Amino acid sequence: MSASSDSPIAVESHSPALRHHFADMEQQKQAASLGMWLFLGTEIMFFGGMFCAYLIYRYWYFNEFAASSRTLDIWLGTINTAVLICSSLTVALAVRAAQTGKRKLTVILLLATLAFGLAFLGIKGVEWYNKFEEHHIPGASFHFEASVPQHPGVPINSQHAQIFFSLYFAMTGMHALHMIIGVGLFCVLTFYAWKGRYGPDYYTPLENAGLYWHFVDIVWIYLFPLLYLIDRKK
Amino acid sequence: MFDNFPLWPARASAGAANVDALYIFLVLLSAFMCAAIFTLILVFAVKYRRRAGVQAEQIEGSTALEITWSVIPMIIFMFIFAWGAAIYFQERTPPRGAAEVYVVAKQWMWKVQHEEGQREINELHVPVGRDVKLVMTSQDAIHSFFVPAFRIKQDVLPGRYTTAWFRATKPGTYQLFCAQYCGTSHSSMIGDIVVMEPAQYQAWLSGGPAVPLAESGQKLFSDMGCITCHRSDLQGRGPNLVGVFGKPVALEDGRSLTADENYIRQCILNSRGQVVKGFPAIMPVFQGLLSEEQVNALVAYIKSLGAPQPGQTTKTAAAVTPQEPKVQ
Amino acid sequence: MASAAIIPERENYLNQEYGIKSWLLTIDHKRIALLYLMSITFFFFIGGFFALLIRLELLTPAGDLVAADTYNKLFTMHGQVMIFFFLIPSIPAVLGNFLVPLMIGAKDLAFPRINLLSWYLYVIAGILYLHCILTGGVDTGWTFYTPFSTAFSNTKVIEAGLAIFVAGFSSILTGLNFVVTIHRMRAPGMTWSRLPLFIWAHYATSIIMLLGTPVLAITLVLVVLERTLHLGIFDPALGGDPLLFQHLFWFYSHPAVYIMILPSMGVVTEVVPCFSRKRVFGYKFVAMSSIMIAVFGFLVWAHHMFVAGISLYSALVFSLLSYLVAVPSAIKVFNWTATMYKGSITFSTPMLYAFGFIGLFTMGGLTGLFLSALGVDVHVHDTYFVIAHFHYIMVGGAVMGYMAGMHYWWPKISGRMYPESWGRLAALIVFLGFNLTFFPQFVLGYLGMPRRYWQYPPEFQVLHVLSTAGSTVLAVGYVLPMLYFLWSMRYGKIAPDNPWGASGLEWMTSSPPPTFNFEQTPVVTWEAYDYANIPAPEEVPIER
C-alpha cells in the first residue's frame, strides 16, 4: 500500500540557498511568499484593533476629533506620505534590480529606501516634539482648548480630545515601531545584498521584506487622512 | 422546590417563573439528547465490539442524514432563541410608571436612594407587587447587581446609567450579590432585598425622616447655582428644563440626542460637546464636585419637572427626529 | 541497570544527536514538539496547583485559607496559565508540531527556525509570567476588564499583559507555520480531500490563531499603555469606554475557545475510526464543520456581554449567531457516533478518552445552549454555571482529547508503549473525578453562586465540598500519566511502527521516526481512513 519515490533533491546539486526540507527552490519561494502574506494578514488584524477604536470614537466625538486633527501639521504629514511612497518605489526597484542581477544598483536602491525610512522617522520625531511643546501628549500635562469647527465659541470637550491624541500616539507610535523594525531588517538585507547574496536565482528575502515595507507604507496611507485630514475644509 | 436539595432559588419575582420554565425545558432537552447519544454509543460499543471474524463495514456517509441532523437541531435552536429573546425583551423593558430606585455601586458596597428619600446601604426595601426600576451607576470599577431570586442581573458601569427592573411577588429577604469581579472585597459586596407587604412597607417608609429624592435634588439645584441659568422663564442663559426629560434635544453642532438619564448626567458633569443649540457654552463643569448620589438627586428632580403649561413657551429645542444616544 | 532498556537500533530523531545544545538549537519539528511538551506540562501543573488551592479555600464558606487578595490572584492566574500557557499551545504545539509534517508526508514544517523561535517566545513569555507570579501576581481576573485593570488593580497587570502578548506571538507563528505547510508541502498525491481530519482541524485552528490573536495583542498593548500613561481609551473617568475593551477582548477570546477545542476534535476524529476499524462517517462534513466553526466563531463574541450594557438589538443578533455556531459542533458528535456504527470496536486508552470527550463535550456543548438563551443567561451569567460549562468543554473536552492524543501517538513519539492497564485506570479516574468536580457547579450556578467569590453563603457549602472532593480525584488522574509516561521511556515495551493498525502516513515510518521523517518521500494513492485495507493488529497491546 505504501508507494514512494526518490526525493528530487537526493542527487543533483542545488542552490546553496535551498533549505533541505523543501523539494526545490520553487516550493521554498512559494512557501516564503505565502508566509509573508499571512503575516501581513495578522498585522492588518493587529492595527485593525486600533482602527476599530478610532472609528468608534470618531463617530461619537467627531467635533473633538476634527478640532484635534487640525492641530496636526498637514505639511509635515504630506511630506512624510511622499517620503514613504518614494521609499516603496525604491524598494520595489531594488527587488527588480536584484531580479536582473544588478548588485550595485540593488544596494544603492536599498540604501535610498533606508534613507527615506530614516527621514520619515526623523520628521515624525519632529511632529511628536511639537505635540509635546503644545501639551497635546495625553497624561498629566495634557491641555487642549478649541472650538467646534465652524462653530466658534462652542468649546469642545477636552477629555474627548485627549482620546484623539491617545489614539494618535498609539497608532503613529505602533506604525513607527514597525518602521524601525523595517529599517533594521533592511540594514541586514542591504549588507547581504552588498555581499552578493541576492541575484536572479534567489531574491526571495528582498521580495518578502519589500512586501512588509509596502504594508507599513499602506498603513500610513490610511493613517494620514484619518488622523490629519478630518474636516479640513475651510 | 426540593427543600433539602434545591435546584433553583426561590421564585420571588414576576419574571422568575418564565426564566425557570425555559431552563427546565433546556434541562430536559439536554438530558434527552445526552441519553440518546450516550445510549447509542453504549449500544454500539457493546454490539459492535471487536469479535473474531467480524469485519467493520466501511460506510462513507449519508448526505441525507447530515442534512437531517443539521436542520432539526437548527430548528430547535431557533425555537430556544425565540423563547429566550422573548424573556429577555421583558427583562430589559421596564414598565411605564415603575417606581425608580437609584443605586450607586462602589468598592465594596451598594448605596440605594429611594424616590421617597430613604437611603440604604447594602439593603433595598420594596413592597410586594410594585414595579421597581433600578437606575444604577458605579463610582469606580464595573459591578453587577444580581438577585438570584428575581432572576435579574445587570452590570453597573462607571460613567453611565444602566437599568434593571423587577416586580417582587413574595415577601421575604433575598440575596443580593455583586456579580462582576471588582477587587479585594468583591465577595463581600452582598446585601439583602427585603420584600414587604405594602402596609409594612409604608410603615418602614415613615420610619425615619426622609426628604424625597426629587426634593433633595431641587435644593441642590438651587444650592449649586443651577437655577441662576436654568430658569423656567425665558430669561435664563441655559435651557429651561421643564419637560425636557425623555424629549429630543438639538445640539449646537447639529446633532440631536434624547434627553435620557445618561444625557442629563453627562450634561451635569461636563456639558462640553453636547451644548444645546442656541445657548452659549458657559455651563460649569461639575465633574469632581458632585457625588453620584447628588447627581442622582438632580436627575430625579429634573425628571420630576412636568410638561410645560399651555401658553408658556420654553426655549428648548424644536422637535427633531430622536436619535439613539450612544449604546453599545 | 538491567538490559530492559533496549534502545531501538535504527537511527531516529531522538538518538541521532545527544546533548543539550542539540535540543536547544534544534530545528527538527519533532524535538521542538517535545520541548513544548515539557514546558506546557510544567505550566499545567502550576495552573493545576492554583486550582487545588482555590478548591481548598472553597471547602468552607468563610475565607479562611488565604487572604481575599490572594484568592483573587489565584483564580486570575489559574485562568491565565491554563488558557495561555497550557490549553492554547497544548495540542497544536505538541501533537500538531510533531504530526503535521508526518501526516502530510513532509520532511519538516515550512519554517523550522520560526518554529524554534515560537518555542523561545513561549519560554520568554513563561519566564515573564513566572516572574509576575513570584513577585506578587495579578488579580484582575483572566479577562483584564477595565477600568479595574487599568485604574484600580495594584498588582502586576503590565507584566502579565506583556507575558501574554509574547505568548500570543508564539501562537501566531505556530499557526502561520501550519497554514503554509499544509498548503505547500503535502506529499505527491496528498490532495485536500485525502488529508487526515486532524490536519483539517489544525488548519481551521491556525486560521483562528492568525486572525484573532493579533486583536488580543493590540488590546493588551492598549491596556498597558493606558495603565502606564493614563491614556483613557477604556476609562470613563478619562472619557473612554470600558465596553470597548470588552468588545476587543472577546473578539479574540471567543474564537480562542475554538483554538482550544478544534485540535482536540481533530484528535478524536483520528482515534475513533482507528479503534472502530472504520473510515470516518461523513468526511467532507466533518472537514467543513471545522472550517464553519472557525468562521462562525468570529461572529459571536458579544454573547459574553449580554448583561454588560449592550443594546437589546445587539444582544438579539449575537444570541442568534451563537446558535448557528452550535450546529457544526453537533454535526461532529453525530458523525463520531455514526462512525462507531457497524464498526469493530476496541477499548484502548485513547478510545476511552475519546468516549469521555464525546460524552463530556456533548454535555458542555448543550449547556452552551443555556448560555446563548438570552433570558436564561441573564440569570446564570457570571455564576458557577458558566464555570461548569467551560470546564466541561475545556477539561472534559480539550484536555481529554489531548490525553487521547498523547496516548495514541506516544508509541510514535517515544518508540515505547505506555502501560495499558494504568492508562485505562487513569482515564476512568479522570472521568469520575471530573464529573464530581464540575457537575455540582451547574447546580451551584443556577442557585446563584457568583464567580470569583472567596467567601460565600453557607447554603452553598455541600455542593462546594463535592466539587473539591472531585478535584482531588481529578488531580490523581492527571498525575498518573505523568508518572507512567516517564516510566515507559525507560521500561516500556518497544513500540512497533504501527501498534494500532492505524491509517495515516505517520504510521508508515518507524517509531520513533527518523529525523527527516521518511526514508523516501511517500506518494499517496489512497483515500484517508483506508481501514478496509489495513489489517487490525492482533490485539491492543497491553502492558502490565
Contact criterion met (CB < 8 Å) for A155 and B280: no
pLDDT at C140 over 60: yes
Peptide bond into C410 cis (omega under 30): no
Burial string for A217-234 (b: 16+ CB within 10 Å, else e) reads bebbeebbebbbebeeee
Nearest to C354 by CA among C329, C337, C330: C337
* Domains of chain C, each with CATH number or no CATH: 20-530 (1.20.210.10)
Residue C157: CB atoms within 10 A of its CB come to: 24
What pLDDT does residue C396 have? 95
* Residues of chain B neighbouring C152 (CB-CB closer than 8 A): 107, 140-141, 183
Nearest to C195 by CA among C286, C95, C292: C286
User: In which band, very low, low, confident or very high, does the pLDDT at B2 lie, cut at 50, 70 and 90?
Assistant: low
User: In which band, very low, low, confident or very high, does the pLDDT at C7 lie, cut at 50, 70 and 90?
Assistant: low
Contact criterion met (CB < 8 Å) for A157 and B281: no
Q: Report the run of H or E that residue C435 belongs to, with start and end.
A: helix C420-447
Q: Decide if A166 touches C, using CB distance below 8 A.
A: yes
Contact criterion met (CB < 8 Å) for C522 and A4: yes
Q: Decide if B270 touches A, using CB distance below 8 A.
A: yes
User: In which band, very low, low, confident or very high, does the pLDDT at B52 lie, cut at 50, 70 and 90?
Assistant: confident
Q: How far apart are CA C528 and CA C190, in angstroms?
A: 9
B152 with B146: CB under 8 angstroms? yes
Q: Which residues pair with C7 in a beta bridge?
A: none
Residues 487-526 of C with CB under 8 A from A: 508, 516, 518-523, 525-526
Domains of chain A, by residue range, sit at 49-228
Q: How far apart are CA A61 and CA A56, in angstroms?
A: 9
Q: How far apart are CA C140 and CA C162, in angstroms?
A: 14
Q: What is the pLDDT of residues A140-174, one digit of tens each?
A: 888 998 888 777 777 888 889 999 999 999 999 99
Q: Which cell is B157 given?
A: 458601569
CB neighbours of B191 closer than 8 A, spacing ≥ 6?
Answer: B110, B122, B123, B124, B175, B176
**Mutation target vs C (from A1, A2, A50, A61; most C CBs, 10 A cutoff):** A2
Q: What is the mean pLDDT of chain A?
A: 91
User: In which band, very low, low, confident or very high, does the pLDDT at B316 lie, cut at 50, 70 and 90?
Assistant: very low
Report the alpha-carbon angle B184-B185-B187, nearest 5.
Answer: 120
What pLDDT does residue A13 have? 64
pLDDT at C364 over 80: yes
DSSP-based three-state secondary structure for C155: coil
Of A38, A138, A159, the CB nearest to C180: A38
What pLDDT does residue B323 have? 38
Contact criterion met (CB < 8 Å) for C278 and B38: no
Chain B's closest residue to A150, CA to CA, is B253
Q: Which CATH architecture fits A49-228?
A: Up-down Bundle (1.20)
Contact criterion met (CB < 8 Å) for C176 and A42: yes
ipTM of the complex in this document: 0.93
Q: How far apart are CA B275 and CA B283, in angstroms?
A: 9
Q: What is the pLDDT of residues C24-45, one digit of tens each?
A: 999 999 999 999 999 999 999 9
Q: CA of B138 to nearest chain A CA: how many angstroms apart?
A: 19
Distances (CA, A) of B288 to A164, B161, B217, C80: 23, 17, 17, 36
Q: Report the run of H or E that residue B156 belongs to, with start and end.
A: strand B152-156
- State pTM to two decimals: 0.92
Q: CA of A1 to nearest chain C CA: how many angstroms apart?
A: 8
Q: Which cell is A97 given?
A: 534590480
Q: What is the pLDDT of residues C420-463, one digit of tens each?
A: 999 999 999 999 999 999 999 999 999 999 999 999 999 999 99
Q: What is the mean pLDDT of chain B?
A: 88
B159 with B227: CB under 8 angstroms? no
Q: How far apart are CA B50 and CA C351, in angstroms?
A: 13
In this prediction, residues C305-334 reach a mean pLDDT of: 96
Contact criterion met (CB < 8 Å) for C450 and B146: yes
In this prediction, residues A205-223 reach a mean pLDDT of: 97
In this prediction, residues B99-125 reach a mean pLDDT of: 94
Q: What is the pLDDT of residues B244-296, one digit of tens each?
A: 898 999 987 778 889 999 999 999 998 887 888 888 888 888 988 999 999 99
Contact criterion met (CB < 8 Å) for A154 and B326: no
Q: How far apart are CA B25 and CA C500, in angstroms?
A: 43
Q: What is the pLDDT of residues B183-215, one digit of tens each?
A: 999 999 999 999 999 999 999 988 877 889 999
In this prediction, residues A69-96 reach a mean pLDDT of: 96
Contact criterion met (CB < 8 Å) for C307 and B153: yes
* Residues of chain A neighbouring C217 (CB-CB closer than 8 A): 46
Residue C517: CB atoms within 10 A of its CB come to: 23
In this prediction, residues B115-124 reach a mean pLDDT of: 92
Residues 432-491 of C with CB under 8 A from B: 443, 446-448, 450-457
What pLDDT does residue B3 have? 65
In this prediction, residues C83-95 reach a mean pLDDT of: 97
pLDDT at C382 over 60: yes
DSSP code of residue B278: T
Q: Percentage of residues in chain B with pLDDT exceeding 90?
A: 67
CB pairs under 8 A between A and B: 27
Residue B299: CB atoms within 10 A of its CB come to: 26
Q: How far apart are CA C384 and CA C468, in angstroms?
A: 14
Our separate counts of H helices and E strands in chain A read 6, 3
Chain A's closest residue to B272, CA to CA, is A157
In this prediction, residues A179-204 reach a mean pLDDT of: 95
pLDDT at B314 over 50: no
Q: Subunits that touch chain B (at least 3 Cβ pairs < 8 angstroms)?
A: A, C
* Domains of chain B, each with CATH number or no CATH: 1-46+94-210 (2.60.40.420), 213-304 (1.10.760.10)
* SS percent in chain C: helix, strand, coil, step 5: 70, 0, 30
Q: How far is CA C281 from the centre of its chain?
A: 24
Contact criterion met (CB < 8 Å) for C278 and B56: yes
Sort C104 into a burial class: Cβ within 10 Å, 0-12 / 13-18 / 19+.
buried
* Residues of chain B neighbouring C308 (CB-CB closer than 8 A): 155, 328
